[in-house]
Structure 1
Amino acid sequence: MKTNTKTYAILGLLLIAFALPSNAQTRKRTKTTTTRTVTKTPGRVSSKKVVYRTPTKKVVSVRSVPNKTVVRHNGQNYYYANNKYYTASRGRYIAIAPKVGFRINTLPANSARVRFNNRLYFNVGGTFFIEANSGYEVVEPEIGTVVYELPDGYEKVTIDGLTYYEYANILYEKIQLDGSRAYEVVGIIDME
């Protein structure tokens, strides 16, 4: 009789345990938001306030640029090959990022579309182009524009004790966007 009572008591407890909802097994859906690691947005920053982790950048030059396309801008020749732009200096070629206002007729095949505030940018290796006058022109991206990869050759910089990523005078901040790592444009360095 005692064993039957114990059996019924245990079965009753198990039945109650399975019947009650358990919070540990329920899954609530949450909206993913963008989270920032840095709280201050620099905007336009004087180059005098920027501290580079490596004070002098090593300039790499090559002797020749095979299969290059010549692009003329402001009376100077630039060269495009291997998904990079080059300028000639002392008989060698140095990889550069094109300056604002630089124009090309066609985009390279590796361009990525980036849409922000109803504006369509074409990102080519960290350089932002917009469609203009039957071609494409280099522009500064708007603050808040998001990319998912930093270009080769970016540098870590410090401004007022906060760390950012810089490429071609564009400052990026690492963020989480929908569970993925991304980089948001947070400022532009004004060269002085």
Structure 2
Amino acid sequence: MKQRPKNRKTMKAHIKVYLLPVLFLICLQVSAQTIRNTNVKTTTKSVAKSNTQTNKKVQTFSKKVPSSKVTYKTKQKKVASVRNVPNKTKISYQGQNYYYANNRYYTQSRGSYIVIAPKVGFKIKTLPSNYVRVNYNTYNYYNAQGVFYVQTNNVYEVVDPEIGTLVYELPDDSEKVVIDGERYYEYANILYERVKVNDKRAYEVVGIIDME
């Protein structure tokens, strides 16, 4: 009967010996888990910030930009004109005569032929030979000398490109313009902003000038 108190004391001592390491290990696991969670949150925030910087887009407008907001850098518009256009083909659209030759369209004025971009809706059966395919989202464009076409049935129709469409060259007679203090490029009433794509210079469509 006298041994029972001694055994109880021994059991309590053994329990303390076993419990202390277990509690210590639990504390270590909780601390490690807290550190891992903190690191995961920090890493996630860093990646999100990095993605935001990478995906930063150029300024775009709501499709149409009033012509009153557009200021041209040069006082006079660049005009390419010639006295004669050999082997030209005459095409009429909405009361206006176009003359096509050398992959360009001309209009006649005061005895000269002036290079002009055909209006939206203008249709031809054969594309100019210098066209380039341009794909954007679900759109397949044909770009020839700054003019965008889409194929409709058996003809090619001039259209305004979607905002975000990229090209890698602009016509020589494109113009530099300023809108709200920012510089852009314009050709055939299409506004472009110069950007870099894979370290290569490109031009992104950011708006269309509304001439009305």
Q: Indicate whether the TM-score tops 0.5.
A: yes
The answer for unaligned runs of 5 or more in structure 2 is: 1-50
Q: What is the root-mean-square deviation of aligned Cα atoms in Å?
A: 1.8
- The separation in 1 between residues aligned to 2:131 and 2:80, in whole angstroms, is 24
What SS does structure 2 have at the residue aligned with 1:172? strand
Distance, in Å, in 2 between the alignment partners of 1:98 and 1:59 is: 15
TM-fit CA distance, 1:62: 1.5
Q: 1:158 Cα deviation (Å)?
A: 0.4
Deviations 1:89-115 (A, max 9, x none): 223211101110111110011100000
8 Å Cα contact 2:107/2:114 also seen in 1: yes
- Of structures 1 and 2, the one with the larger relative CO (CA 8 A, separation 6+) is 1
Asked whether the equivalents of residues 34 and 175 of structure 1 are also in contact (C-alpha less than 8 Å), the reply is: no
Matched-pair contact (CA < 8 Å) for 1:174–1:184: yes
How far apart, CA to CA, are the structure 2 residues paired with 1:110 and 1:34?
33
One-letter code aligned to 1:42: F
State the TM-score, normalized to the length of structure 2.
Answer: 0.70
How many aligned positions are there?
Answer: 159
| Structure with more of its chain in strand, by fraction | 1
1:117 counterpart = 2:132: no
Runs of 4+ in 1 over 2 A off after TM superposition: 33-36, 58-61
Query: 1:101 aligns to what?
Result: 121
Using the size of structure 1 for normalisation, the TM-score is 0.77
Aligned residue for 1:109, secondary structure, equals: coil
**Secondary structure at the residue paired with 1:48?**
helix
**Equivalent residues of 1:34, 1:177 under 8 A apart:** no
Task: State the one-letter code of the partner of 2:177.
Answer: V
Q: Which residue of 1 aligns with 2:175?
A: 155
What do the CA deviations read for 1:15-64 (whole angstroms, capped 9, x no partner)? xxxxxxxxxxxxxxxx9x6766xx43223210000010002214342211
**Long gaps (5+) in structure 1:** 1-30
